[in-house]
Amino acid sequence: MIVTTAQLFQEAYGRYAVGAYNINNMEQALGLFQGHIEAQAPFIIQLSKGARKYANARVLEAIIRAVESEYPEAIFAVHLDHGDEQTCYDCIDSGFYSSVMIDASHETFAENVAITRRVVERAHAKGISVESELGMLGGVEEDIKVDEKHAMLTDPDEAQAFVEASGCDSLAVAIGTSHGAYKFAGSQGLHFDRIEAIQAALPGFPLVMHGSSSVPQSEVQRINAAGGALNPNAKGVDDSQFGRAAKLGVTKVNIDTDGRLVWTRVHREFFRDHPEGFDFRTPGKEYVKAYADFIVDKSRKLGSAGHLEEVRAAVM
Ligand code: G3H
Ligand code: 13P
Ligand code: ZN
């Protein structure tokens, strides 16, 4: 059952975070549903502009609808990740998406408010939720490159003013994370003092944490042992901190990179161990299982595991 992110957040806020996963293909869709049914967790499917271009937006929609028909008990939102204004309108008009993200965080505050306001009006007219972003994450974000040293944490007072003026339903905040595999050096990590200050300025309002992959050392090492050349210093978010962040209002946690690492590890190891192999269905099947296991583990760390029936009762 497709629900809005606002419906999911109403149940989750302050108790647990809902995992939001980027997918690009059939194997990821299968693993995502399997894992969430096993974990009995609600979830958010995120489709980026890149994914919509890679797999074709209609093909992605057909895959998700087909996989849902195999797992009719699943409860999830379909969300556009890092949309521009036109892509938001395309998704709102498609009748498939229950949530969109307008990312105008690179614009001035006033322009970000104005663009978000326009998207909110069109989305809310159709009962669709809107996520917006304020502040700048480090790293690479779609086609916008933000230099690490210019990454700006979200200002709590600005966040409060932004939400009030734009009418968005959730806000992506810059709290120390960045996209990709190389997030932190040394002892850097989440800025809990900033999350607390934003929650104090916006009590009860769902916050979104982008760039939340954990980049497990074990995955990086296995990929490199199987012929990869990832930077061994790659470091992500400590997922044992998801619970603390959730209590402070972080209600949506975005994960893409970790899923890519699972794919890369499974396929590199398979072809290393079977150099004669060329039937991609064998590692493909293994990947679906490995991605589903990964989802079960993440759902437990996010605290969303076991909440499926409670969410069903609330949204029915
Ligand atoms: O925030 C970006 C997501 O990881 C999506 O990545 O644009 O390569 O699909 P992508
Ligand atoms: P990661 O690169 O940490 O997986 O973040 C993904 C993300 O924020 C998608 O919007
Ligand atoms: Zn993101």
Q: How far is the CA of 278 from the centre of ligand 3 (A)?
A: 34
**CA neighbor of 71 nearest in space, from 269, 288, 246, 233:** 288
pLDDT reading at 150 higher than 60? no
Q: How far is the CA of 316 from the centre of ligand 3 (A)?
A: 30
- What is the average per-residue pLDDT within 16-28? 98
CB-CB contact of 206 with 169 (8 Å): yes
CATH match of 5-315 with 1.10.3720.10: no
CB-CB contact of 293 with 249 (8 Å): no
Q: Is 223 exposed, middle or buried (0-12, 13-18, 19+ CB in 10 A)?
A: buried
Which of 24, 46, 48 to probe ligand 1 with, by most ligand atoms within 8 A of CB?
A: 48
State which ligand 2 atom lies nearest to the alpha carbon of 260.
4
CB-CB contact of 139 with 177 (8 Å): no
Question: How far is 257 from 211, CA to CA, in rounded Å?
Answer: 8
pLDDT in the model for residue 242: 98
136 — pLDDT class (breaks 50, 70, 90): confident
- Ligand showing the shortest atom-to-Cα distance for residue 181: 2
**Can you list the positions of beta strands (E) in the chain?**
18-22, 43-48, 76-83, 99-102, 129-134, 139-141, 144-146, 170-173, 207-209, 250-255
**CA neighbor of 98 nearest in space, from 46, 26, 21, 40:** 46
Question: How far is 185 from 195, CA to CA, in rounded Å?
Answer: 20
Tokens 């760039």 correspond to 211
144 — pLDDT class (breaks 50, 70, 90): low
Q: What is the pLDDT of residues 197-232, one digit of tens each?
A: 999 999 999 999 999 999 999 999 999 999 999 999
In short, whether 105's Cβ falls inside 6 Å of ligand 2 is: no
CB-CB contact of 244 with 304 (8 Å): no
In short, whether 179's Cβ falls inside 6 Å of ligand 2 is: yes
137 — pLDDT class (breaks 50, 70, 90): confident
pLDDT in the model for residue 213: 97
Tell me whether residue 293 is one of the annotated catalytic residues: no
- For 278, the token pair is 């060329």
Q: How far is the CA of 12 from the centre of ligand 3 (A)?
A: 20
- Ligand showing the shortest atom-to-Cα distance for residue 237: 2
Question: How far is 316 from 314, CA to CA, in rounded Å?
Answer: 6
pLDDT in the model for residue 183: 84
pLDDT reading at 140 higher than 50? no
pLDDT in the model for residue 71: 98
The predicted model scores a pTM of 0.96
Question: How far is 164 from 130, CA to CA, in rounded Å?
Answer: 13
pLDDT in the model for residue 12: 98
Residues around ion ligand 3, judged by CB within 5 A, are 210
Q: What is the DSSP letter of 49?
A: H
pLDDT reading at 118 higher than 70? yes
pLDDT reading at 287 higher than 50? yes
CB-CB contact of 230 with 272 (8 Å): no
Tokens 């600005």 correspond to 158
Return the ∠ at Cα 44 (arms to 308 and 155), rounded to 5°: 115
In short, whether 22's Cβ falls inside 6 Å of ligand 2 is: yes
3-state secondary structure 243-268: HHHHHCCEEEEEECHHHHHHHHHHHH
233 or 71: which leads in pLDDT: 71
Q: How far is the CA of 179 from the centre of ligand 3 (A)?
A: 6
pLDDT in the model for residue 107: 97
CB-CB contact of 177 with 211 (8 Å): yes
Bridge partner list, 208: 172, 252
Write down the domain spans for the chain.
5-315
pLDDT reading at 142 higher than 70? no
Q: What is the pLDDT of residues 163-207, one digit of tens each?
A: 999 999 999 999 999 999 988 766 678 999 999 999 999 999 999
pLDDT reading at 161 higher than 80? yes
- What is the average per-residue pLDDT within 243-264? 98
211 is an annotated ligand-binding site residue: yes
212 is an annotated ligand-binding site residue: yes
- For 288, the token pair is 């679906």
Which of 81, 177, 182 to probe ligand 1 with, by most ligand atoms within 8 A of CB?
A: 81
254 is an annotated ligand-binding site residue: yes
Q: Which residues line ligand 1 (CB under 6 A)?
A: 22, 48, 50-51, 81-82, 141-142, 179, 256
**Phi-psi category of 77—alpha, beta or left, where left has phi over 0 and alpha has psi -120 to 50?**
beta
Q: Is the dihedral of CA 58, 59, 60, 65 positive or negative?
A: positive
256 is an annotated ligand-binding site residue: yes
Q: What is the mean pLDDT of the chain?
A: 95
Centre a 10 Å sphere on the Cβ of residue 313 and count the other Cβ atoms it contains: 9
139 is an annotated ligand-binding site residue: no
In short, whether 311's Cβ falls inside 6 Å of ligand 2 is: no
